[in-house]
Structure 1
Amino acid sequence: MKLIRHGLRGAEKPGLIDASGTLRDLSGVVPDIAGTVLGRDSMRRLAALDPAALPALPTDTRLGACVGAVGNVVCIGLNYADHAAEAGLKAPGQPIVFNKHSGAISGPADEVWLAPGSTKLDWEVELGVVIGEPAFRISEAEALDVVAGYCLVNDVSERAYQIEYEGQWTKGKSYPTHCPIGPWLVTPDELGDPQAVDLWLDVNGQRRQTGSTRTMIFGVARIVSYLSQFMALQPGDVIPTGTPPGVGMGQKPPVFLQVGDVITLGGAGLGQQRQTVVPTPGR
């Protein structure tokens, strides 16, 4: 099952994509793709629906972030050994954890804003994990049972804010529009093995990232279990799980995004995103 959120930004409605690729409206069934709707029982009810009985949507309908009312975006850094190497850093012995502010979330085809004075805007294609059940101090064996589904995430990063300013990474990760999510939330049964997902990203039509979750240092089950030892994960929490090599700061010489650049990215079973970099409106 592929779940979506559609409509104007800030007023998105729930929906799904049927087997033929038709967008269908779910607003008469559930209030949003968020919170308790992501729980096991609710997801089973959605899977049992006849999509043909749901209203069809126009093909040009805007898709928003595929999860609504996200409480936390908890990210994993340097989770691919070859990405750590291109950053000149040692592969971690434990997951590196940081946050993106939920105000950074945007839709898969929304514009990405360049901050005033920013010169080191970067891209990162990632597998996102969406939590469906409360999870606190769970084992790795239990971890995948609390996952509602998976999605594509572009962990857009302002490297100067992240690395050259004092403190933690969060301020380099949290600018508005710097967390495109979607186009859809794919359920675990449809995606299959989360450790066998191919990922890619292009900038202006040039391939920059090619990778696979097979080469993650810490797999999804380890990540979810590990995080639950330190925090009570909640339905709707999104966990971007790290990026493969090929980010802008790892190019020789480094290459960063500028106004007018177009980012396209995708993953097997996860769909595709496309963003254009624009100045921050009104700033």
Structure 2
Amino acid sequence: MKHARIRYRDEVHTAIVEIGNTVRLADGRLLAENQVEWLPPATGSMFALGLNYADHAAELAFKAPTEPLAFIKSPGTYTGHNQVTWRPDDVAYMHYECELVAVIGKPARNVKREDALAYLAGYTVCNDYAIRDYLENYYRPNLRVKNRDATTPVGPWMVDVADVPDPSKLALRTWVNGELKQEGSTSDMIFDIPYLIEYFSSFMTLQPGDMIATGTPEGLADVVPGDEVVVEVEGVGRLVNRIVSEAEFFANRARSKEA
């Protein structure tokens, strides 16, 4: 089953996504995909992984890490399916990152690997845009690279754990303006989802709604305002996003606040 958070007529709803991406509200109303505003399906903290695919580490001429390279993304960075992301006007290189995301379903502390998937609510997709100009060290990504307002599309929905029988064998793909740019498989993860849940829960309590973004394979490219970027994880979802300039993004945000 696919679970979504959407906004319809200025109200936020939890909903079930049915065939053709139609959305069924709790009161039974059925809405078309283009009738609603898609919101991130979870809103907790996001624990993101750097260099978690061997081919991506090799692409950047880095050694594969021997323990997870993790950083936290704040909820203010999230945006939804069919929404826009902005590229700062003064940067030379901004790239997409197609990622499988595991969503925590219940408090997890000191979880063993063999029990880890029982603590998940489901899976979703994110596009973890990165601004390469500000990257001082791939082993320690700083806040300016990954924590900018509305620069992490998440969604469109969350798929139940039971509907993804093997998250270690899923294809990941990214298209820019209809051209396939990135293709890989979760089988190339260095640290898989059960390992990551065990790792994070060994020193902190993961809470319902928290997310673990599991990294991206090789195949990155620069994107610019006007580009449409589509990231897809097999069996989970296809997430669409459009890039605008910094000036356009904040002008639109200001108009929205005035409305």
Fold in common (TM above 0.5): yes
- Listed as ranges, the matches of 1:244-259 within 5 Å are 244-248=217-221, 256-259=222-225
Alignment deviations for residues 200-225 of structure 1 (CA, whole Å, 9 cap, x no partner): 00112221110111111111100111
Deviation at 1:145? 0.6
Amino acid at match of 1:269: G
Q: Is 1:275 aligned to 2:241, yes or no? A: yes
Bigger drift between 8-17 and 152-161 goes to: 8-17
Deviation at 1:61? 2.4
Seen in structure 2, the aligned counterparts of structure 1 residues 192 and 59 have a Cα distance that, compared at 3 Å, is same
- Verify the 8 A CA contact 1:210 1:245 in the aligned structure 2: yes
Tell me which stretches of 4 or more aligned residues in structure 1 moved more than 4 Å. Answer: 8-11
Aligned length: 248
CA RMSD of aligned residues (A): 2.1
Alignment deviations for residues 47-85 of structure 1 (CA, whole Å, 9 cap, x no partner): xxxxxxx221134223423424x2311101111100000
The corresponding residue for 2:47 is 74
Alignment deviations for residues 29-63 of structure 1 (CA, whole Å, 9 cap, x no partner): xxxxxxxxxxxxxxxxxxxxxxxxx2211342234
Amino acid at match of 2:87: L
Amino acid at match of 2:229: I
Q: Which of 58, 82, 99 is residue 32 of structure 2 equivalent to?
A: 58
- Verify the 8 A CA contact 1:63 1:183 in the aligned structure 2: no
Report the 3-state secondary structure (helix = DSSP H, G, I; strand = E; otherwise coil) of the residue aligned with 2:162: helix
Q: Which of 170, 187, 208 is residue 235 of structure 1 equivalent to?
A: 208
Q: How far, CA to CA, are the matches of 2:29 and 2:8 in structure 1?
A: 18
Report the 3-state secondary structure (helix = DSSP H, G, I; strand = E; otherwise coil) of the residue aligned with 1:181: strand
Q: How far, CA to CA, are the matches of 2:200 and 2:80 in structure 1?
A: 26
Report the 3-state secondary structure (helix = DSSP H, G, I; strand = E; otherwise coil) of the residue aligned with 2:156: coil
The corresponding residue for 2:110 is 137
Amino acid at match of 1:279: S
Seen in structure 2, the aligned counterparts of structure 1 residues 10 and 93 have a Cα distance that, compared at 3 Å, is farther
Report the 3-state secondary structure (helix = DSSP H, G, I; strand = E; otherwise coil) of the residue aligned with 1:94: coil
The corresponding residue for 1:266 is 232
Deviation at 1:90? 0.4
Deviation at 1:10? 8.2
Q: How far, CA to CA, are the matches of 2:36 and 2:21 in structure 1?
A: 15
Bigger drift between 10-19 and 151-160 goes to: 10-19
- Verify the 8 A CA contact 1:162 1:173 in the aligned structure 2: no
Amino acid at match of 1:213: T
Q: What TM-score results when the alignment is normalised by the length of structure 2?
A: 0.89
Seen in structure 2, the aligned counterparts of structure 1 residues 8 and 22 have a Cα distance that, compared at 3 Å, is closer
Q: How far, CA to CA, are the matches of 1:276 and 1:59 in structure 2?
A: 17
Bigger drift between 271-280 and 220-229 goes to: 271-280
Alignment deviations for residues 121-170 of structure 1 (CA, whole Å, 9 cap, x no partner): 110000001000101111101111100000011011111123379x7433
Q: Which of 208, 213, 222 is residue 186 of structure 2 equivalent to?
A: 213
Deviation at 1:118? 2.2
The corresponding residue for 1:92 is 65
- Verify the 8 A CA contact 2:121 2:160 in the aligned structure 1: yes
Unaligned runs of 5+ in 2: 252-259
Deviation at 1:18? 2.7
The corresponding residue for 1:13 is 13
More strand by share: 2
Q: How far, CA to CA, are the matches of 1:241 and 1:143 in structure 2?
A: 15
Q: What TM-score results when the alignment is normalised by the length of structure 1?
A: 0.82
Deviation at 1:234? 0.4
- Listed as ranges, the matches of 1:100-249 within 5 Å are 100-163=73-136, 168-248=141-221
Bigger drift between 92-101 and 125-134 goes to: 92-101
- Verify the 8 A CA contact 1:12 1:64 in the aligned structure 2: no
Identity of aligned residues (%): 34
- Verify the 8 A CA contact 1:74 1:97 in the aligned structure 2: yes
Q: How far, CA to CA, are the matches of 1:114 and 1:233 in structure 2?
A: 31
- Verify the 8 A CA contact 1:101 1:170 in the aligned structure 2: no
Unaligned runs of 5+ in 1: 29-53, 249-255
